[in-house]
Structure 1
């Protein structure tokens, strides 16, 4: 039984490290793009539009007005 719990704890560590690695890789790229003056406005608009679209879709799916 201890082998089972050991495997579960190793899986959780692996899972969290994959999630953290994904976000660090994604945000690092976005922050590098935001350092350039001419791309800052474009990236900001894309992020705002993306969040707005996701919000509208979720409200429609959940029936929230």
Structure 2
């Protein structure tokens, strides 16, 4: 029974490493694109506009 609980205690570490690996693999192409200075500015403007859109949508009550 001790071995069972020892294996269960290792599961959260495994889960964190799987999620980290997934996100790093999925975002790797974006990291490669952001090596260019111009694309960094475009990406930041896109994020700011998107956040403003979500904020205004919530404030005005559009669902």
Instruction: Return the structure number with greater relative CO, CA threshold 8 A, min gap 6.
Output: 1
* Runs of 4 or more consecutive aligned structure 1 residues displaced over 3 Å after TM superposition: none
Is there any run of 5+ residues in structure 1 with no aligned partner, and where? 61-65
| Rg comparison, structure with higher value | 2
Is there any run of 5+ residues in structure 2 with no aligned partner, and where? 59-63
Q: TM (normalized to structure 1)?
A: 0.52
Aligned residues: 54
What's the RMSD between the two structures over aligned residues?
2.6
Q: TM (normalized to structure 2)?
A: 0.52
